[in-house]
Amino acid sequence: MTAKEFFKSTSFKCIAVLLSILLICGILLTICNALFKVTDQERFDRVISEIYGQSVTTEEVKLSEVETKFDKGTINSAYKVTDDGNYLVNVSGTGGFAGTVTCWVVVKITDNAVSGIGNVIIESTQGETYINKIPSSAFDFYGDNYVAGEAYDVADIKNANLTGGATMSMTAVTNCVNTAIDFIKSQILGEEIAANPYADYTYASFIDGLKSSHAVNTDGSISYHLVINPVELTNAFEFDVVVSADKTIASITMTVNGSTYGFGADADSKVSSLVGATLDDVKAKFTDDTFAPNSDVGEIFTGASLTGTAAYRAAAFALANYDNALANAWTYADFIDKEATSYTVADSSVSYHLVINPVELTNAFEFDVVVSADKTIASITMTVNGSTYGFGADADSKVSSLVGATLDDVKAKFTDDTFAPNSDVGEIFTGASLTGTAAYRAAAYALANYDLAILLGGNA
């Protein structure tokens, strides 16, 4: 067949038709791809909208510019919903049965303040075998029970029979929600949130730091009220513990029994077996510092090893942190520059050199203060006047008006323990209320910490 005959043949016509079809199809596919292509952003927006519960547009929060690690959770990503001003937060919460739980949490905003919780959806877990038993209604609890200024407590969810037996997994979810709220408040809205005063203490994970407290007694012992986080299937426990100056348990009482299903009903009396224990005695019952429940504890707290573990964790925290608790027991510590402040003790009097932090527009002030055995100001002198713009130039003589004052006298000039500048102080320190406030803060610190200073014997 010649070339001319081939181009006139039926075979060539078929090939030409097929090539034409392919060409047309290619053109059509190109057009369709351009028309119907889903970009990565569009795909992401669809996922976010499904989580949020409706179609929305978002803008990402730059996490490199904010704090992302909190006591009981870590922020992975966050987005502002531009449609309504709410936020969608991806957060991993601690406290699960085997590890963390990661959730998407919708935080509602009204008038530049957190006003509620929207959808809470689990994204992933680490070995939470019971998490699928949590009923869907449990996730509505957060939106239905939001109270401004209050953190969610998994015990409330458990009391509402909404954990499905997965108390620890639900704890991690709750920590996700609380962490998301704290993140939005502190990092986005600029609010101050309560810091955990025990965050840097040994065994800090054992306790709820915001609900626990301690005080130093005049004999050198330390009294703790400790809220112990749930141990596996339990609710939170509460203990009052006294550690004596020789670092042994002087007393321990369980004030709230977090045991469930009837376990630990008679555990109160067994808690007293810890009286006299040292930290080494307590640690000897466990293989490592996680203080995981075990049979040794179960033998003491028969049938209630989780309750026993909570008691041992309370004892361990109290004993391990005796020195920390003592060093951080100073009242009004935020008034002073701790590193630059010193004190001595002699003849039942305490002599302080106090560097008072700037008050609003001022620089730092310095005062020498002596508190006598009757807990009154024996003398007070301003050695460095931090006043600016000429205010407080004649304030030195007015500082002496505090001689003879008690702590109650000093506190009476203020509405609360922040000792914020006010007109009452301004009347005494005419035209220099900030200088007067600094003097009153110095007097308050010196008076409030007399017993602790006597106990410790000085640092100069």
* Phi (first) and psi of residue 16, to 5 degrees: -65, -45
Q: What pTM value is reported for the model?
A: 0.72
- The rounded radius of gyration (Å) of the Cα atoms in the chain is 32
Going by C-alpha positions, the residue among 242, 238, 237, 235 that lies closest to residue 219 is: 242
pLDDT in tens, the chain (460 residues): 566 665 567 776 777 777 777 777 777 776 666 555 556 666 677 778 888 888 888 899 999 989 999 988 999 999 999 999 999 999 999 988 878 999 999 999 999 999 999 999 999 988 787 788 899 999 999 999 999 989 999 889 988 888 888 888 899 999 999 999 999 999 999 998 888 899 999 999 999 998 999 999 989 999 999 999 988 778 889 999 999 999 999 999 999 988 876 766 677 778 999 999 999 999 999 999 999 888 888 788 887 888 999 999 999 999 999 999 998 899 999 999 999 999 999 999 999 999 999 998 899 999 999 999 999 999 999 999 998 877 666 777 789 899 999 999 999 999 999 999 888 887 888 778 899 999 999 999 999 999 999 998 888 6
Which residues in the chain are classed under CATH 3.90.1010? 333-456
Q: Residue 401: what residue type?
A: S
Q: What is the DSSP letter of 366?
A: E
| Cα–Cα distance for residue pair 129/96, rounded to 1 Å | 10
The domain at 333-456 falls in which architecture? Answer: Alpha-Beta Complex (3.90)
- Our measurement of the distance from residue 201's CA atom to the centroid of its chain's CA atoms, rounded to an integer in Å, reads 13
| Cα–Cα distance for residue pair 36/397, rounded to 1 Å | 82
| Cα–Cα distance for residue pair 264/287, rounded to 1 Å | 23
Q: Mention every residue, 6+ apart, whose C-beta is less than 8 A from residue 417.
A: 332, 411
